[in-house]
Structure formats: C-alpha cells, structure tokens
Structure 1
Amino acid sequence: MTWRTGVLLALLVVAVTAAALMPPWPQNPAYHAFADQRLLLGVPHFWNVVSNIAFIGAGLFGLALWREVDWRARPGRWGWLVVGTGGVLTGIGSAYYHIAPDNQTLYWDRLPMAILFMGIFSIAIGERISARAGSRLLAPLVLLGAASVEVWRQGELAAAGAGDLRFYGLVQYYPMLALALILLMYPARNEGGRHWWGMLGLYSGAKLAELSDAAVYGVSAGLVSGHVLKHVLGGAALAVLFGGLRSAQVGSGSPGGAGPPRN
C-alpha cells in the first residue's frame, strides 16, 4: 500500500466512523418547500422542473461523445457510459420529483444521482490511480450508490420520516472529497486535469446554491431561485467533465489519445 492509498483509506475510515456515530438523519419535510412555487404553462414548480434540461443535455452530450471515442486506447469505457446515462436519468428523475415533491418522488431523484456520483468516482480512480481498479470498482460502487438510496427508502416505507440518510450522505460527499485528494496526489497525464477541477468547482457552487435557495430567490427579486441555479450548475459541471474527455481526444490527434494510467 502506498502512502497515497493510505490517505484515501484513512479518509474513508473517518467518514464511515463519523456517519456511524451520528444520530439517524431523517429527511426534513421542509426540504420540499422550495422558494419558487410558480405554476407556468400548467406545470407546477415550472422552473425547478424545466431547469433539469441542463442535466439531460449534458448527459446526451456525453453519450454522443462516448460513441466517438476509441476505447481501446483509453480506460473508463463503461464508467463514462454510466455517467452519461446517469446524467440523463438524473434530469428525468429530478423533473418528475419537482412536479410533485415529496419523499416518494424524491427517491427517483436521488437514485440516478447516487449512481452518477459513483460512476464519476470510478472514472477518477481509473484515470489517476489504476485503470484496472477503476474498471473493477465500477459495478460495486454503482451498487453501493443504489443501496444507499434504497436504505433510506425502506426506512420511509416502514414509517414516514423513519428513513436514514447517513449512508446516502456518505455516498454523496466522500467521493467528492476523495476526488479532490486524488487530483492533488496523483499527477495528471496527457489529458490534463482542468476539467476535473472545473467539475468540482461547479459542483461546489451547485451545493451552495441549493443551500441558498430562498436567499437567491429574494436577492434576485424572484427572477431565479437557488435550486434552479443548482440544476444549471450541476448540468454545467457534468458538461465540463465530458468536455475534458473531448479535449483530450482532439488534442491527441486521435480518439482516446491519452495513455492509460498504470495498472
């Protein structure tokens, strides 16, 4: 085990321990009370619904690019497919949720999102640490992401408000923290790393916008809410990530030109 692997494992142990020591984390019912409640063109919560086109568009962009890449020369083929598909399904699931937001519909928002996070994490592992590890971890990570949402859902089915979000929170936040460390500790290869940092920056902005939903809505005099900005920035983060794949392909002069990392 290298010291870098040790750092990532230590962070995982700390994150798992912290989640285990926390009290159960139920879904706050107030979460569904978004700032922008406007009905337009017969669509409730119109802007929260239609802003998900950012995720769908980014996912479709990724899927179109996925078909063009020569995957014989580049790791992460199935991880990138999961991320592109996850982007489209996240947009669809989130739009469905926002039409009638409650804990039941929220499941279909969170399920593809958790899978999307795990796909991104497996790609980062494959590109920066080990192509073999990234490939082998993809399926277990995707199953782990789906399981985290299902654990919360089963709690809700047992009793309203009894769902526990600790596992889901771990799945959402640990990979992004670990990704930042991976980018710092493992040098970029031919593809560079700006798209990864750009994705992380936009994702962080999306989380801040989500937490500032009502504040953004008030400051903008009702023009836009923080949650709408979350969707736009989240979709942009995904597009930037796929843009990095495209740039590496073009910059190398041939599809999949970036050499694979060590195994």
Structure 2
Amino acid sequence: MKTYHHLWLLTGITILVAIAAIVLPPVAQPAEYHFFADQRHFLGIPNFNDVVSNLAFLVSGGAGLLFLWRIHRNSTQSVFQDRRESWPYWVLFFSVASVAFGSIYYHWTPDIDHLLWDRLPIVIAIAALLAATLVDRVDITAGLAALPLLVALAILSVLYWYWSETQGAGNLNFYLVMQFYPILLMAWISLCCPSRYSHGNTVFQVIALYAIAKLLEILDAQIFAWTSGWVSGHTLKHLIAAYAAYWIVRMLRERRLVENE
C-alpha cells in the first residue's frame, strides 16, 4: 500500500510539472548554444573531437542490442523473468546507437535544423529507460503500456521545440521536462519500489554519470582551457554519457532474479 501512495504522489507531481511547463514563460534556446569550444578540423572532418566522440554511443548501443539479441535466442536466459521486460531495453539501446548518427550529423554542421536529429534519440532513450524502471519496479503491464506513451511524449516535446524555433519564439519547456523529469522519477521510483533483480542500485550510478556528463557540457569552454586545448567538456560529455549507457548493459549482464528483494 505504501508503494501505491508514493505512485499517487508522483502522479500528482507529474501533473503539476506538466501544468508548469504550459504556464511558465518559455525557456529560449541560448543564441550561443551552437558555438562549441573545440572547433578544430582534422582529416577533413569539422569539429573533429565532438564528431568522432559520438562513436562511443554506437559502441554502447550496439553492445546493448547485441546482448539483447543473444538473450532473445537463448531459451534458457535468466536476465528477464518475463521476456516482454526486454522491450524497453530494445528501444533504449537502439536510441543510444542512433544518438551517434544524430549527434554526428549535428556537430558536423551545428544549427537548429541539425539539432533536431541530435535531440530526438536522446529523449527517446530516456523515456525508454523510465519505462524499463516501471516494468521492473512497479508493474510489467503498466510499464509496457507506458512505453509507447512516453516515447510519443518525448518525440512531441522535441517536435514542439523545433516548431517553436521556426516560429521565431523557441520554447524548450516541454523538452527540458522530458529530458530531466524522467530521471527524477527513476530515482524516486527506485527509492520507493525495490527491484526484482540484483544490481538494482545501478540506476543511481547511471544517473550520477549522466549528471557528470551534463556538468561537463556546461563547462565545455572551461575544460578546454584547463586542458590547454587538449579536450573540451563537450567531447568528454559524449564519452561519459555513452559510458552511462554501457553501464546499463553491464548491469543486465550481471543481474539475477532476487526473490523478496
């Protein structure tokens, strides 16, 4: 009963967050957003480090997809008590792999039109991870039902932001909600609802890594200066965020069903 009280509270907070995104003044895209610290060209590739570092997402996402494929073909697998539990992870790792292509496309020519394809797979991946958390810790059927809804909301948040930019009045409110609020939900749900598997606390490590990645993004120019131009914060952000995704693959490989956990 206590768990359901927490879930009702989260539902109420979620409604308030949605209302806030509607009524609060729009958060505009900073004009300097597309000006990254490391703009060096190499081998004919513009913004080389920010472009090439995205290959880490392809490695992490590909590793996750390969693992899921092997599990899918293994009739005696014990990673998922119910095979349907893997569905959010398929979406997650496909999205992570897609981040590589979307972000390469953006960093090759940073502007609003290219940024659309960078942001889409990112919020879809976050939505899928929230659905996976619901499947594991709340209810399989409810989590799977939430998966397409969360993905749709993630896509709509990016499309709305892009549309608002084309109208000359960019509004990041819904995109910011879909990027950060699911992470807070995952943390709260993980605190309130125990996992059915071992390594359940991995979610907090993943969240911490993502937070570090966002901090590195903010400190892009400062880190570039501190390292005497060796590496920028944004390049490191790509690597740490990709490592966070790989941490999920590692968790799935090592976890086991734990009764009464």
Q: Same fold (TM over 0.5)?
A: yes
Q: Which residue of the partner structure matches residue 42 of structure 2?
A: 40
1:52 aligns to 2:27 (yes or no): no
* Mapping of residues 96-107 of structure 1, within 5 Å: 96-107=105-116
Query: Which residue number in structure 1 is paired with residue 170 of structure 2?
Result: 163
Question: Which aligned pairs between 1:1-263 and structure 2 lie closer than 5 A?
Answer: 2-69=4-71, 70=77, 73-159=82-168, 162-248=169-255, 252=256, 258=257
Q: Show CA shifts across 1:164-207 (max 9, x none).
A: 11111111111001111011111122333132111111001011
Q: Please tell me whether the aligned partners of residues 214 and 226 of structure 1 are also in contact (alpha carbons under 8 angstroms).
A: yes
**Offset at residue 89 of structure 1 (A):** 0.6
> Structure 1 35/260 Cα, relative in aligned 2: closer, same or farther at 3 Å?
farther
Match of 1:40, SS state, is: coil
Shift of 1:9: 1.4
C-alpha distance in 2 between matches for 1:216 and 1:6: 42
RMSD: 1.8
Letter in 2 for 1:65: F
Instruction: Flag structure 1 segments of 5+ consecutive residues without an equivalent.
Output: 253-257
Shift of 1:74: 4.4
1:140-177 Cα shifts (integer Å, max 9, x gaps): 11111011111111122333xx2311111111111001
Task: Give the distance between the partners of 1:190 and 1:81, measured in 2 at CA.
Answer: 19
Relative to the length of structure 1, the TM-score reads 0.90
What is the TM-score with the length of structure 2 in the denominator?
A: 0.91
What is the DSSP-based 3-state SS (H/G/I as helix, E as strand, rest coil) of the residue aligned with 1:187?
coil
Q: Secondary structure of the equivalent of 1:29?
A: coil
> 2:68 & 2:122 partners in 1: Cα distance?
19
Q: 1:121 to 1:260 in 2, by over 3 A?
A: farther
Distance, in Å, in 1 between the alignment partners of 2:132 and 2:84 is 8
Percent identity, aligned pairs only, is 35
Preserved CA contact (<8 Å) 1:131 1:260? no
Distance 1:72 1:10 in 2: 31
The unaligned stretches of length 5 or more in structure 2 are 72-76
Distance 1:141 1:260 in 2: 29
The total of aligned residue pairs comes to 251
Q: Distance in 1 between matches of 2:107 and 2:197?
A: 41
- CA distance in 1 between counterparts of 2:249 and 2:148 reads 21
Change (3 A) 1:156 1:260: farther
* Structure 1 residue 21, shift from structure 2 partner: 3.1
- Letter matched to residue 7 of structure 1: L
More deviation, 212-221/21-30: 21-30
